[in-house]
Amino acid sequence: MSHDRMNRRPGRMLPALRLAAALALAGLAASCAGPTGPGTAAPSAAAAAAARPKLVVFLVVDGLPMRQVTAYREQLQPDGFARFLERGTWFAEAHYGYAFTVTAAGHATMLTGAYPHATGIIGNDWRDVASGEMQYCTGDERHTYLGHKTGKLDGTSPANLRVETVGDVLRRATPASKVIGISGKDRGAILPAGKTGTAYMYMSETGSFASSTYYMKEHPAWVSAFNAGKPADRYFKAEWKPALPDAAYAQSLGDNQPWFGTRPGKLPMTMGASAEKPGQPFYSGLLRSPFVDEMSLAFARAAIAGEQLGADEAPDILAVSLSGHDYVNHYWSAESRLSHDHFLHLDRLLQAFFRDLDATVGKDNYVAVLTADHGFMPAPEVSRLRGQDAGRMVSSETLGRVNAELEKRFGVAKLGRFFSASALVLDRALLAQHRLDANTVAEAARTALLAEPGIAVAYTRAELEAGSRAGAPLFDAMVKSWHKERSGDVQLAPKANWMFVSSTANTTHGSPYVYDTHVPILVYGPRWVKAARVDRRVEVADIAPTLARLLGVAAPAASEGKPLPLN
């Protein structure tokens, strides 16, 4: 069956097919429960079907460190994040288990349960180690956006994702189930949607949402109707105002810190302040505000209505990745008042969204899960004010110094070709031309990297492939981030509170340290989830097998997680 056919919204299952699916599910439930004995009846098909949520609402707050959830808890609304913290199960020590904690890697792990060494999503982008060509995590030149220009590295399909998601397993078991991903970023929609779901992403060129030709030939009527309303234009000249009085932000950094540089930030902030009419700069600017998340949730409501999500016995998955917090934190840091206030606005948006879910889907018909793709490091300037060693590195300068050391040793210039994701890639052509042993050169490059003031550890391809340094500092996490075919020759990690300079960010993420790995995992659904705080360490990879169990399907084949304790 062609992919297009698999992703058209199927009609309701015929009675015979419904019965067959229910019986299969009952058999699966019985086998998972173990052997039955005298007086122990296998669950009926009806009971098995009724036990599943009609809808899984999977929420991602891009770039939300767990420390913000707990720090601002007393300022939450009664039914936003507090719904999880007071009436759901929440995990106080949830972490990513790998080293290079970036957006695409996180979104690939969440619903596959697999680390980058299996998913192949080693970063937001990387270079082909042989050709040097840039690769984008969801790039696929065979497909284009519907109704929009498509650049060479724009994200249009999950072709680079090498493993299946919970949604893929669900749709294979129950073809009538629907899986929809929505996000302000293409990777935030495409990767959770998996191979057989449908992704819609915010288009910063027009302020609308679009899918790609990978999923369909034209948008459904409900998508066209939503976009016809010009949802972004309603925020032109709108003000992002603080949610609370100034005194409520005493624990956060004030606006317009000196190190904001060319990215000044102060509340209240007017959207499109210098523009005469809505256009691309205005639409892009909405990404650094609560308004892009408000639009994403509005589009999610339209999807629920347009696709009738959660309306029948075939369970559905709606994945919504809210991108604004990441953009705010990159610009102004998670310690800023702008980030603090953005979090409070998200809380209010979630409260309204949950109210609508209760009314439309039914409060006892869905499970909601909230997590993040990574945390955030404090800006180096903030860390230095706290008396910590911190700083910024320039990748081109670092590469130049490493190459100078390699040239001294081997007499060949520019043996280090480039940095890709979190690794140095050696020039294979030069190695072959000068008959240099790749492992010997990689060892020398590692020594040069460790001489840099901001590099903590570095491991070679030979070590990572063999797993020969198990237990060494950060090695296990770095193995999980390294992919044999796509990653480089010397994998590295910065020291805590150090970062590579970026032209688009004041601070960043992507390290194996707690500020980047520690994220929320919050679960709500009274029929399936008790109210509890869990303090033992869990991992984001545990979400996929947990949802698979709730949905009565097998965990994704590559999943490395364990089901979370929910009841």
Tokens in use for 80?
A: 């936003």
- CA separation for the pair 186, 199 (Å, rounded): 8
C-alpha triplet 81, 85, 89: angle, nearest 5°: 120
Q: Strands 521-524 and 89-91: what pairing? A: antiparallel
Tokens in use for 488?
A: 């480089």
Q: How many helices (H) and strands (E) does the chain have?
A: 22, 21
Question: Active-site residue among 89, 101, 103, 546?
Answer: 103
CB 509 within 8 A of CB 519: no
CB 528 within 8 A of CB 367: yes
Is there a catalytic annotation at residue 460?
no
Give the H or E element holding residue 183: strand 179-183
State the alpha helices, DSSP H only, in 490-530: 514-517
CB 263 within 8 A of CB 300: no
Tokens in use for 471?
A: 């237990």
The 10 Å Cβ neighbour count of residue 122 is 30
CB 101 within 8 A of CB 509: yes
Using the structure block, give the residue that is written with the tokens 């009436």.
87
CB 33 within 8 A of CB 48: no
User: Which residues are CB-neighbours of 40 under 8 A, at least 6 positions away?
Assistant: none
- CA separation for the pair 31, 48 (Å, rounded): 12
CB 65 within 8 A of CB 519: yes
Positive or negative: CA dihedral 374, 377, 378, 379: negative
- CA separation for the pair 480, 215 (Å, rounded): 30
User: Which residues are CB-neighbours of 119 under 8 A, at least 6 positions away?
Assistant: 105, 108, 109, 112, 161, 162, 163, 558
Closest CA to 222 of 234, 231, 232, 213: 231
- CA separation for the pair 167, 322 (Å, rounded): 19
- CA separation for the pair 6, 549 (Å, rounded): 24
CB 441 within 8 A of CB 426: yes
- CA separation for the pair 55, 60 (Å, rounded): 16
Please name the amino acid found at residue 19. L
Which of the residues are catalytic? 103
